[in-house]
Amino acid sequence: MSKILVTGATGNLGKLTIQHLRSKIDVSNIAALVRDESKATELKEMGVEIRLGNYDDLNSLVNAFKGIDKLFFVSASDVEKRLPQHKNVMEAVQQSNIKHVVYTSFVRKNETDSSPIAALGKAHIYTDAFLQSSGKTYTILRHTLYMEFAPYFMGDKVVENQMVYLPSGAGKVAFLLRSEMAEIAANVLTSEGHENKIYNISGEEAFSYADIARMISEITGKEIKFVSPPVVKFIQTLKKSGVPEESIKMSAGFAQAIEQGEFDAPNPDISKLLGRKPIPLKAFLKQVYG
Ligand SMILES: NC(=O)c1ccc[n+]([C@@H]2O[C@H](COP(=O)([O-])OP(=O)(O)OC[C@H]3O[C@@H](n4cnc5c(N)ncnc54)[C@H](OP(=O)(O)O)[C@@H]3O)[C@@H](O)[C@H]2O)c1
């Protein structure tokens, strides 16, 4: 059995993936890349080998990748530093004997600077292209938006205000749970036939925020309106309500990307990778608003 190294192992996706891997392969074949050993107690208790490494430090990655056959590279979380960090990871991969890289990319349509989320995309576009010309085998998992994040863009007063207020127009997202993305990653890492494949890791069906408002209405029994204001008005309204600048920027950027169809990329075959039907959006919303 080959040795798999999971990066981002102290984060949500990496940790969940390791949990699924443990139910499929012997734990002696799983290693975790960790930048801060004090966060690795739980992983150590699971019996997972800890490899210290930081995306900012090429030498630490070169050392951590020794004896690894497969890398599960969870994209870095610091958007400002992500491109140079991913360059380090790719350089360390080239210097290593890693045979196969499974990478968490993102779904997209517009790869130019005109995309409202161009800054988020750069490192993914670079890494996808690098892997495809690296000479290593790869599987690129193009993640949609996490379903867990669907409520985040609407704020926490949807039911109270009886309104979903977001400049996402008629744009749709094929949400999928992050926990199911982790399950898919574990399946891909432990089965054959995924070499040099690019998959959209997204739900079977795409929904707009108008659809979401309708679903929350059905769940709560209250009429929830969907209002899609011009983006400038959206920003002004959130500023007046005291929402932090960073959150406004994030929500506005994603809402515009949604409106432009960036995440309208359903994958009707996702159950083949997951091994069952994914949890539908309405069932998730019921957990949150029910
Ligand atoms: N599709 C979506 O909707 C969506 C949403 C948000 C994020 N993402 C992307 O998906 C990734 C995984 O999501 P998540 O929820 O698991 O994120 P997360 O919980 O924030 O985990 C990020 C992981 O990356 C590690 N990390 C960050 N900087 C590092 C560095 N310089 N060197 C080594 N490790 C580093 C973190 O380590 P520490 O524990 O030490 O911080 C943590 O383990 C994110 O990093 C981001 O690229 C996707």
Q: What is the mean pLDDT of residues 162-179?
A: 98
Which distant-in-sequence residues (6+ apart) come within 8 Å of 152 by Cβ?
251
For 70-86, what is each residue's pLDDT tens digit? 999 999 999 999 999 99
How close is the Cα of 41 to the center of ligand 1, in Å?
18
Q: Using a 6 Å cutoff on CB, does residue 74 contact ligand 1?
A: yes
The residue whose two tokens read 């690129």 is 140
> Which pLDDT does position 237 carry in this prediction?
95
How close is the Cα of 83 to the center of ligand 1, in Å?
14
> Which pLDDT does position 211 carry in this prediction?
98
Q: Which of 60, 77, 105, 176 to mutate to test the pocket of ligand 1 (most atoms within 8 A of CB)?
A: 77
> Which pLDDT does position 54 carry in this prediction?
98
Cα separation, 219 vs 63, in Å, equals 51
Which distant-in-sequence residues (6+ apart) come within 8 Å of 38 by Cβ?
none
How close is the Cα of 64 to the center of ligand 1, in Å?
18
For 201-226, what is each residue's pLDDT tens digit? 999 999 999 999 999 999 999 999 99
Tell me, rounded to whole angstroms, the distance of Cα 283 from its chain centroid: 20
What string of H, E and C letters represents the secondary structure of 178-235? HHHHHHHHHHHHCCCCCCCEEEEECCCCCEEHHHHHHHHHHHHCCCCEEECCCHHHHH
Atom of ligand 1 nearest to the CA of 14: 16
118, two tokens: 């161009």
pLDDT at 186 over 70: yes
Question: How does DSSP classify residue 177?
Answer: -
**148 within 8 A of 177, measured Cβ to Cβ:** yes
Cβ-count burial of 288 within 10 angstroms (0-12 exposed, 13-18 middle, 19+ buried)? middle
Q: What is the mean pLDDT of residues 32-48?
A: 97
Cα separation, 101 vs 6, in Å, equals 10
pLDDT band at residue 267 using 50, 70 and 90 as cut-offs? very high
pLDDT band at residue 2 using 50, 70 and 90 as cut-offs? confident
Q: Using a 6 Å cutoff on CB, does residue 56 contact ligand 1?
A: yes
Rounded to 10 degrees, the C-alpha dihedral 75/189/135/108 comes to -40
> Which pLDDT does position 110 carry in this prediction?
95
Atom of ligand 1 nearest to the CA of 55: 32
Q: Using alpha carbons, list the distances in angstroms from residue 221 to 44, 61, 208, 224.
A: 46, 53, 20, 9
pLDDT band at residue 1 using 50, 70 and 90 as cut-offs? low
What percentage of residues in the chain have a pLDDT greater than 90? 97
Which distant-in-sequence residues (6+ apart) come within 8 Å of 37 by Cβ?
50, 52
Q: What is the mean pLDDT of residues 256-273?
A: 97
